[in-house]
Each structure stands twice: as structure tokens, then as C-alpha cells.
Structure 1
Amino acid sequence: MSLPSPNSAENLIGYQRRLRIAVFNRNFSTTGGGAERYSIALVEQLAAKHDIHVFAQEITHNWPGVTYHRVSMPMRKPRWINQLWFATCTWWLTGSGFDVVHSHENTWHGDVQTAHVLPVKYTLFSELHGWRQVSRWIKVATSPRLLAYLGLEHLRFMYRPNRKVVVTSESLRKIMESTYPGCGRMMSVITPGITLPPLLVTPLGKKNARSLLGLPQDGYCILFVANDYRKKGLNTLLKALSQCPAGFVLAVVGNLSELPIFMEQVKILGLQCRVFFLGTLQNVAPAYESADCLAHPTLEDTFGMAVLEAMSYGLPVIVSSSTYCGISGLLQHSANALIIDDPLDPTELQHALEKALTQPLLNAELSKGAIAFANCYQWTKLALQQEMLYLDVDATKNG
């Protein structure tokens, strides 16, 4: 059988050979961050059409038709040694027998490489010149950890004719192209997506969700969803909340490892009765159902998956500008979101929160715009883009 031309999208869509695909993600769990949920969603969408094998060190996921391979973890820390170990093990285990190898991790091998975060090289050297740049290179040269990360990243994004590099936003694509110019011709943008909730939230549904999570029934509930509280702006949000009326409360969903530091800030600001730390939730749906808006004053987010998830529930969202958050480059201020210029300014955030929650016409407009936006970013559609890349890789290898 002759294979379709890799340059023909129509041929690829019609060419439905079942592929054997290896997927790498060290933590394959729905309670992980956006990168983990992204890789899990694509696996779930494509498992019925292809033979998918997941290679991970931590697995709390079970899906029909998916084969799971637990990779050993002799040591969790230092993380850079574990990263090298994982890369080596997966290279050994997937050297043959797979049509496509898809890595969501910093590994040197993989036909499809999905970048979820800013490149290490960019974070180390962006906007450094002269002696500051020389000093940073000296620091790198004397650090096995940084050398390991940079070395893996260089190999990961090195040009190969049958390699695809996927980024999650246009803002990340621009950064990647400036940092690793050679990978530009391999690059595609596939944003995160969502599965739309079956029904819109009703007042009774919101009441039940708040009861389930132990949240107060009265007042406005602001939702914050993140595992890295610092990077995603909880510090600024707490300051903004302290300036909001007493009827405003905050529900925080995510990893509690930073809880002691932020509990101290809550105490200092006198917010003990207004902030609720819910921890990591296996099912985040009740949190979205209970809220009146989502606040995402992130300092660094290549996309912002929580923002899209909240919009699918019709929540007004307040989010940092595209300088800080990738999804904001797709949003329209006051039409489907409120976009703040400075995520470190609690007063700007406070004003946005009060506008979103206390102005009924604006609230309704933001909710309507959020649902319309989310409808365009469903996993069922985005998984087809991912499948196209798989088929293109396979066709190139066998053409």
C-alpha cells in the first residue's frame, strides 16, 4: 500500500492506519498541572483510534485501550538526575516497535515534542548582554543541573526532518523561534482544550456545589486554580481580596505544599473567614460550579488552561495580559474576559473583580462571551490536529 504524501492534509485525513504511539509524561495524573491534563486529554481522545502506550513514573489514570508502562524512579531528587534517568529509560524502552514517539518531557528523543513551558535557555539568558551574559554562562558551566537541562533541551529542539515541535500558544511559538531558530519549520500550535460540561450551572447546582466544598452560600465566590501559588499570582489576589467588600470570598484549588506561607499572609490581611483552601481535587467541576468568577493574575503562563476550563462553565474570568499569559492573546477585553495589565497591582485586580461581579450587564456579557469562546476549543477538534501530526510523522518515516 502506498502512503499519502505528508504534504497532503486531505490524504492524511483519509489515511486511517492504526498507529502504535508512545507518550511520555512523568506524572500521568489528572491532579497534576496543565501539561499533565493536556497530555491525558489527547490520549483519551485518540485511544479508540490508535494503540497508545503511556510511559510515566507516577500513574493515577485508567482509560480503556491504553497500555501503561511505569518507569522506575530510583530517586525523586535531585530532579535533574531523575530527568536524565527518565529520558534514558524511555529512550531504551521505545527505541523500536513504535510508529510515533510523543514526548511531553525534556528528552532528546521523540518524533513529536510538546513544549508546555518557557525554554530553559530563554529563562536563563533572555535580555542579558555583555558581562551579565558572560557571568550567566560561567554559572551554567559550573552547574551540572543547568548543563543537563540545557543539553537535553538543545537535543530536544534540534532539527530533524520527521520531527514535530508543538507549542501551546502563539506567544510561546515566538519565544521558541527566537530561542531555537532551527525549530521554526518543525513547529505547530495546538492549544489546550476542554470538554464542555453537559449542562449550564443553575442556582441550585451552585448551591449544591458550595455545600459539597464547604463554601458559604451567600456572597460572591472568586475561584483560583493553580499548583504554583506564587507564579500564578495568589499573593496579589489575596491583597486585592482584602480591598474588596466583605461579601467577597476566595476558593483556592491546587497543591497545598505552599500553604503555610499563604496562610500566614491570610492571617496578616485578616482574611481567615474569607479564604478557603480546598487542596487538590480529583474532580474540579464542583469548584467551577460553585464560583462566580475566576481570577488568574499569573506572572508566567504559556497558555492558562484553568482560564479556558472556567470559561466553559460560563464564568467571567480576570486574567493577566498576553505578556504574562498565552491565552490572553486570543481573548477580547470586556467581551469575553477582563484583562489586567499588571498582575502585581492588587488595586487593578480589585477593580476588575468588582466590575465583573457587581455589574450585571457586564457579568452577563462576559459569561456569554466565555461560553462562545470555549466552544471553539474543544478537545474533540484539537485531537484531530494532533492526529494529523502523528500521521504526518508516520508518512515521512515510511515515505
Structure 2
Amino acid sequence: MKTTAGARDRRLRIALLVDRFGNRFGGAEAYGVELMRVLGKRHDVAVVARDFDSDLPFEYLPVRFPGWLPSWMRVLYFAWRADRLTRGRFDIVHSHMNGWAGEIQVMHVTPVRYNRVTRVKPLHRVTAWLSPRLATYLLLEKLRVRRTPRRRVVAVSGLIMDQLHRSYGEQLQVDIIAPGVKLPPPDRDGRRAATRARLGWDAHTIGCLLVARNPLRKGLPALLDALAQLPPHYTLLVVGADASTRERVRAAGPVAGRVTLIDPTPDVAQYFDAADIYAHPTLNDSYGMAPLEAMSHGLPVVVSSPVYCGFAQYLTDGQDAFILQDPRNGAQLAQALERLGSDPQLRASLKTRGLEIAREQSWETVASRYEALYEKVLRERN
């Protein structure tokens, strides 16, 4: 294989390994979709997944297994099948899954070893290795990060990189490539007005938004507490509501009347356009793509500290966003929301800075960084 041209200048065959491919499945899955949307303009892309829900014209290589199989067996089978489907067929195998297949290994979540071995007492470590389920996860993760000349481990945030180093040692080479964002079209005033009217919001309403696949883990309880402490013209819109979300809101008492719940949908842009503030008091996000997407739509953001949200480590409190030291503290959250809601100048300042951050994180920039990694892998292979 010739190496005179860079990865961006020649057409590569790329296989993406991902559990589910589609924007409606959540943040990590959307990362793969948007990245491959850009790379697919310059390269040939195939997707290895158990579910595919996209209009992108990629080859789909499905991985099927019986639903009754335990989760750890499904993960093991996926790793084996993905290796069989891709070996020798592609220039680059770009994996978002635990397993041994793939030159590019993208880590989206806290490492299993960090949670089950690094941070626990010695007896719990032994217990982890005695469990077939945990032992499988630990082994597949170890195979994923093992050092070879053709492999690159990528963390989506500094938080994940730190956890990897604490779990596998500082000698593990890790690149950080944060998620990107797709900038919306500039003229959206008409859509904003139409969506607000449909939600029953008037000109005085301060619409607070949370977009999450699991709202309870992304801070819904704290938001309900905060809403109870705010004036009546503050409302909450939750996009991605499931059964447990609806049950929690029903139990919130009178404040439930100020909450609007929307089922999971791939078309969340209309709700970003309609809102006034984006609130993300998450309890566990390795990065947090939703706050970045909110910034791209011109929303001021309230977000958990870097202890809880990897994206926050790139932000300055009060300048780029409001950062919560304790995302479970409803009073602290209410104070931040009220400051933003009552100060249009402050909202405008955070909006300007947020748009600057979003422009710096376009998916084109992210794709170029991956192409540079691809080129290193291809050079070392030759």
C-alpha cells in the first residue's frame, strides 16, 4: 500500500464498530454517526452494529444474536463476530466497542477496570475476576487497550484519559479527541416561535431544557427541586422521557404542571431553538455532548463540575457557562437558573462565548484529527 498521500487525500475503506448506529440512540452513538457523516464524504464506510437506523448510504454488516443471551455473552459474541467481519477487509477498523478488533479504539465511558478494580478494596477485586460477566468485560477491555504498533487509544475527554492511566498505567498512550458539534442554520427565529407556541410558552416564559436518554441520571431530580424554588414563569422541558421519568415527575407534586415531557426523538434541534437555558446537572458524563450542542444553538448552559461531567473541564465558570460544584443541590441549581433568567445581558454574554466554543469543535475538525491518526497507523503498518 502506498503512503505518499495522507489519509485525507486518498479514499480509505473504514469499518466502524458500534453497538447501535443512529442519532436516536444517544450521545456515544451520535458521535459515531456524525463523525462518519463527515468521513463518508471522503472515504468508503461500513458499519458493524446490532442495530442501524440512519439514512446514510453506508454498507451495514449486522451482528445478530438471540435476545435471551446474557449481556456479557452478547458483548463477547459481538467482539468475535466483528473481528470475523472486518479482518483483512478494511484499511482502518474504528471501534467504539470492547474487543480485540480495531486499530482505533475510542473510549466513551469510565473504564470497567477503573470501576471494578482500581477504585475498590482487594476483596472486591477478587470478586470481580470470579464473576464470568465482569471477568469477560475486564478481559475484553484489556485486549482493547493492549499496546501494539498499529493501535491508537482515544479518550473523548481528559477525565476518561485520567481514568485509563490510573487503571492501566501512565505508559498507556492515549489521544484525546472530544466530540464535535454540527452548527445549525443561522435563521431559526420562525421555528423558535412556532415550537414555543406549541409548548404553550409565551414571551415571559423562561424555558429550561434537559435532553437525555436517561433523565434521572442527568439531573432531573435536582431540576425538579430547583423548579419548585423558582417563580412560576420558569418551566422545564425534558426531551428523552421514559417511564421512570414520567413516574418521577408525577411524584413531584404541584411543580409537575410546569414540566413538559417529550419522548425520545432524533429531532431535538427544534427544542434547543425554543429554550432559553440549557441545564445539565448530570451525575455521570464522561464528556457530555448535549451541553455542547446547546451552545451551538446559542443557549447559555448550566453544567456539573468536571468531577461529574468531562466537558466542564474545558469551561471557565461564569465566563463560558455556570458550573455546579454539587449537581444534586437543587438550591444551587435554582440560583444559577434564576440569575440567567433575570439577566438578559448575562445570557447574551454566555451565548456569544458558547458559540465560539461550538465553532472550534466542528465535526470537520474532529474528522481531520482522526484522519491524522489513521495516517500514523497506516505508516506503522507499512
The two structures have a TM-score, normalised by structure 1, of 0.91
Would you say the 8 A contact 1:300–1:325 is kept in 2? Answer: yes
Length, aligned pairs only: 381
Residue 134 (structure 2) pairs with residue 149 (structure 1):
no
Residue 9 (structure 2) pairs with residue 21 (structure 1):
no
Instruction: Name the counterpart of 1:100.
Output: 92
1:62 Cα deviation (Å)?
2.0
Aligned counterparts of 1:184 and 1:200: Cα–Cα separation in 2: 46
Instruction: Name the counterpart of 2:356.
Output: 372
**% same residue:** 35
> What secondary structure sits across from 1:375 in the alignment?
helix
> What secondary structure sits across from 1:273 in the alignment?
helix
Instruction: Name the counterpart of 2:37.
Output: 44
Would you say the 8 A contact 2:250–2:256 is kept in 1? Answer: no
1:126 Cα deviation (Å)?
4.0
Aligned counterparts of 2:12 and 2:105: Cα–Cα separation in 1: 17
Cα 1:380–1:114 shift into 2, 3 Å: same
Aligned counterparts of 1:110 and 1:67: Cα–Cα separation in 2: 18
Q: What aligned pairs does 1:283-362 form with structure 2 within 5 A after superposition?
A: 283-362=267-346
Matching residue's letter, 1:188 = D
Would you say the 8 A contact 1:164–1:389 is kept in 2? Answer: yes
Q: 1:60 aligns with which of 53, 64, 70?
A: 53
Aligned counterparts of 1:2 and 1:237: Cα–Cα separation in 2: 56
Matching residue's letter, 1:140 = A
Aligned counterparts of 1:177 and 1:255: Cα–Cα separation in 2: 35
Aligned counterparts of 1:247 and 1:45: Cα–Cα separation in 2: 41
Matching residue's letter, 2:192 = K
> What secondary structure sits across from 1:108 in the alignment?
coil
The two structures have a TM-score, normalised by structure 2, of 0.95
User: For structure 2, which runs of at least 5 residues remain unmatched after alignment?
Assistant: none
Please give the per-residue CA displacement for 1:151-174, whole angstroms capped at 9, x wherever unaligned: 111111111111011111122212
Would you say the 8 A contact 2:246–2:261 is kept in 1? Answer: no
Matching residue's letter, 2:357 = F
Q: Larger deviation: 243-252 or 214-223? A: 214-223
Would you say the 8 A contact 2:20–2:52 is kept in 1? Answer: yes
Aligned counterparts of 1:50 and 1:240: Cα–Cα separation in 2: 47
Aligned counterparts of 1:76 and 1:295: Cα–Cα separation in 2: 38
Cα 1:146–1:257 shift into 2, 3 Å: farther
Would you say the 8 A contact 1:57–1:72 is kept in 2? Answer: yes
Aligned counterparts of 1:291 and 1:303: Cα–Cα separation in 2: 22
Instruction: Name the counterpart of 1:12.
Output: 6
User: For structure 1, which runs of at least 5 residues remain unmatched after alignment?
Assistant: 5-10
> What secondary structure sits across from 2:207 in the alignment?
strand
Would you say the 8 A contact 1:171–1:302 is kept in 2? Answer: yes
Q: What aligned pairs does 1:1-399 form with structure 2 within 5 A after superposition?
A: 2-4=2-4, 12=6, 16-64=9-57, 66-75=58-67, 78-128=70-120, 133-181=121-169, 184-185=172-173, 187-202=174-189, 204-212=190-198, 214-217=199-202, 218-267=204-253, 270-397=254-381, 399=382
Aligned counterparts of 2:160 and 2:128: Cα–Cα separation in 1: 23
Please give the per-residue CA displacement for 1:285-336, whole angstroms capped at 9, x wherever unaligned: 1110110011000111111100000000110000011111111111111112
Would you say the 8 A contact 1:158–1:182 is kept in 2? Answer: no
Aligned counterparts of 1:56 and 1:88: Cα–Cα separation in 2: 13
Aligned counterparts of 2:79 and 2:350: Cα–Cα separation in 1: 44
Aligned counterparts of 1:222 and 1:200: Cα–Cα separation in 2: 21
Aligned counterparts of 1:234 and 1:196: Cα–Cα separation in 2: 27
Aligned counterparts of 1:312 and 1:126: Cα–Cα separation in 2: 37
Aligned counterparts of 2:283 and 2:327: Cα–Cα separation in 1: 6
> What secondary structure sits across from 2:256 in the alignment?
coil
Aligned counterparts of 1:196 and 1:260: Cα–Cα separation in 2: 31
Aligned counterparts of 2:360 and 2:329: Cα–Cα separation in 1: 31
Aligned counterparts of 1:376 and 1:105: Cα–Cα separation in 2: 27
Cα 1:99–1:182 shift into 2, 3 Å: farther
1:2 Cα deviation (Å)?
4.8
Aligned counterparts of 1:127 and 1:242: Cα–Cα separation in 2: 37
